Amino acid sequence: MCSLTMPAFCHFGFAAAVAWEAGKPLVIEEVEVAPPQKMEVRVKILFNSLCHTDVNFWEAKGQNPLFPRILGHEAGGIVEGVGEGVKELVPGDHVLPVFTGECKECAHCKSEESNVCDLLRINTDRGVMIHDGKSRFSKEGKPIYHFVGTSTFSEYTVVHVGCLAKINPLAPLDKVCVLSCGISTGFGATLNVAKPVKGSTVAVFGLGAVGLAAAEGARVSGASRIIGVDLNPNKFEQAKQFGVTEFVNPKDYNRPVQEVIAEMTDGGVDRSVECTAHIDAMISAFECVHDGWGVAVLVGAPSKDAVFKTHPVNFLNGRTLKGTTFGNYKPRSDIPGVVEKYMNKELELEKFITHEVPFAEINKALDYMLEGESIRCIIRMEH
């Protein structure tokens, strides 16, 4: 471990949870974390929050396997040191790492409409840093791959400056770390993309953390009916806390769920938000919106072979299909403001946090997620 009296960027080992193979328990290892290079920042991670995408890439089902790898992308930490060219962050700044970035220079970053930066948009297959195509993690000289530019399951990580949101240092990192991915993704998908007006009916497909955050966005927007769709009936009770008013389990019907929803809502919902990542749910989420004005928003990350299929007349009749990454938030420009919404009590985060484990027991967090027990499990990095 580094001590504060040592010169910056010592090369001592730090604890990291390494995924050596698909689906095998993560192993806490001492790894070397290299100093930050040009436009990079080394961050001391204090809290992680497990997101389902970590589990997907750990299982590597429907995704390209890349191992050994340090997963983790929903976290909060403190800047330890900065590399060449980094001007906006200094040691001690509180930051949320984000899996998609904002370079502030490309056409996307300059557009008010887009948040998919040309340089730093999510790339799940890249396991190295952009600057030199190398990893900053190693064990006994052998590189360990990064994950979505964040790799936060480590006491220290190296992140491109464009993937770090500098936030209010008074914000509790063990709470606001959940804004680093899932909660912002769902909340923003509703508020920034679906944009339901007051009194709307909104369907939310998938009542995991992202779906519940989408429901929270609908509640904050003043939706009159929020229909939760999930295959697990145990999720409904919990979902009521997030404003979900009705529940539909597709397993209870022998016809497509879009027909069931259309019947419940006199022709379809005004808005739908899809948060399951399953292709059939994506199609249902589109086909269940009302003709003439309905808007469906896809949020879940699909498997690499997924194909979206619907009849073109569904579009001709005035339905709109949209998709969004990270709730259309620009990480550096917008996330500090979402943290302020929490600080001003406009957005509640505590209800998303159902479990907490020390870093040494990180595999328990994966179990809770796989068993469908947790919404968010906080992983405390320090003893």
Residues at the interface with Zn ion (CB under 5 A): 51, 53, 103, 106, 109, 117, 181
| Minimum distance, C-beta of residue 237 to Zn ion, in the bound complex (Å) | 24
| Minimum distance, C-beta of residue 120 to Zn ion, in the bound complex (Å) | 6
| Minimum distance, C-beta of residue 320 to Zn ion, in the bound complex (Å) | 25
Nearer to Zn ion, 75 or 202 (CB): 75
Tell me 34's DSSP state.
P
- Catalytic residue list contains 106: yes
Our CA dihedral for 109, 115, 118, 122, rounded to 10 degrees, sits at 150
Phi-psi sector, 195: left (phi>0), alpha (psi -120 to 50), beta: left
| Minimum distance, C-beta of residue 110 to Zn ion, in the bound complex (Å) | 8
Which of 42, 53, 290, 325 is catalytic? The answer is 53
Query: Within 10 A of 93 (CB to CB), how many other CB atoms are there?
Result: 17
- Catalytic residue list contains 380: no
Nearer to Zn ion, 68 or 300 (CB): 300
- Catalytic residue list contains 181: yes
| Minimum distance, C-beta of residue 304 to Zn ion, in the bound complex (Å) | 17
Which of 40, 80, 102, 109 is catalytic? The answer is 109
Tell me the CA distances in angstroms from 1 to 4, 30, 156, one per residue in order.
10, 10, 10
Nearer to Zn ion, 44 or 108 (CB): 108
Which of 32, 59, 106, 131 is catalytic? The answer is 106
- The number of C-alpha atoms within 13 Å of 16 and in the hemisphere containing its C-beta is 32
- Catalytic residue list contains 52: yes
Which of 2, 117, 163, 288 is catalytic? The answer is 117
Query: What is the spatial distance between Cα 268 and Cα 265, in angstroms, rounded to a whole number?
Result: 5
Task: Provide the token pair at 365.
Answer: 């967090």
- Catalytic residue list contains 163: no
Contact (CB, 8 A) for 166 and 189? no
- Catalytic residue list contains 103: yes
Long-range contacts of 6-12 (CB under 8 A, 24+ apart): 8/35, 8/80, 8/81, 9/35, 9/36, 9/42, 9/81
- Catalytic residue list contains 73: yes
- Catalytic residue list contains 74: yes
Which of 103, 163, 275, 288 is catalytic? The answer is 103
Residues tagged active-site = 51-53, 73-74, 103, 106, 109, 117, 121, 181, 376
